[in-house]
Amino acid sequence: MAQDLSAEQIQQVLQGISVPPQPQIMVDLQMEQFLPNPDLKTIARLISQDPGLSGALLKIVNSPFFGLANRIASIQQAVNLLGCNSVINLINAQSIKGEMSDETIVTLNRFWDTAQDVAMTCLTLAKRIGYQAPDEAYTLGLFHNCGIPLMLKRFPDYMTVLEEAYFNASSERRVVDTENRLLNTNHAVVGYFTAKSWNLPLHLCEAIANHHNALSFFEDDTGRDAQLKTLMAILKMAEHICGSYRVLGNQEEDHEWNSIQQQVLEYVGLTEYDFQTLKESIHDLGAC
């Protein structure tokens, strides 16, 4: 049963780390809320396209106010739990966080576009390989790079550093190694703490923290962390299919994927031909 939260309660829960919402998504949501009968499914669909709004939503639903036995990762389930009035209060709370410059919006478009594309592709891949919680895979795809906007806010030249990091990626050097060397932190660590502040399930937080540490996961054949490995495999396939190395890294070649492709495909039981066929079908579906 939905519980209505006041604007004041929502503001209290949302104190702390926040990722700016996409301006166009906010416009679409505000237009929907002004209709005589706002459609909760439409609102959920719009929110699920935006990492910042989705994170704020899950933070509220997973807060002590609701007292859920287990943390949830489904955006639709969170919307249903909150109900229309509380979700509209959330949208309004996010809309007054301040304007962004045109330059910042253009830069963040690279982050927003990959987040949506990778999330949809994770969902498709999860269903294709039979992962039992496809909503979790979608959420990981949406949130895996949620540290990027915060790094950009702290380091104005961050995208240049990230491009260098993708260029240097190899089996010997992770994307985050370049960030650590130049900035003494990285977007995966920042993303981990952001996800924790949003009260995401802990295994998703761990996946976000380690999403550029995949090689060590797949070289470990002890059989532990099977759920985490499967989520990681789905995410790394989705990032490659959606060309994150081009959009975020400004690279012609996916150096990171080249270093982990064999281990990832072996783990999920796909040949290179199988993966190429799957990649083409996903592109045909327009997921990314």
State in Å, rounded, how far the first CA of the chain is from the last one.
35
Which amino acid makes up residue 200? L
Q: What is the pLDDT of residues 221-264, one digit of tens each?
A: 766 688 899 999 999 999 999 999 999 999 999 999 999 999 99
Domain ranges of the chain: 7-95, 102-285
Q: What is the pLDDT of residues 186-195, one digit of tens each?
A: 999 999 988 8
pLDDT by residue for the chain (288 residues), tens only, comes to 345 545 555 455 445 557 888 888 888 988 888 888 888 889 999 999 999 899 988 888 888 777 777 888 889 888 888 888 778 777 777 665 555 677 778 888 889 989 989 999 999 999 998 888 899 999 999 999 999 998 988 888 999 999 999 999 888 899 999 999 999 999 999 999 888 888 889 999 999 999 999 888 888 776 668 889 999 999 999 999 999 999 999 999 999 999 999 999 999 999 999 999 999 988 887 767
Q: What is 102-285's CATH superfamily?
A: Hypothetical protein af1432 (1.10.3210.10)
| Axis-axis angle for helices 40-47, 84-95 (nearest 10) | 40
Contact (CB, 8 A) for 43 and 79: yes
Which residues neighbour 146 within 8 Å (Cβ) at sequence distance 6 or greater?
A: 19, 51, 55, 115, 191, 194, 195, 208
pTM listed for this prediction: 0.83
Nearest-angstrom CA–CA distance, 112 and 104: 12
Contact (CB, 8 A) for 86 and 1: no
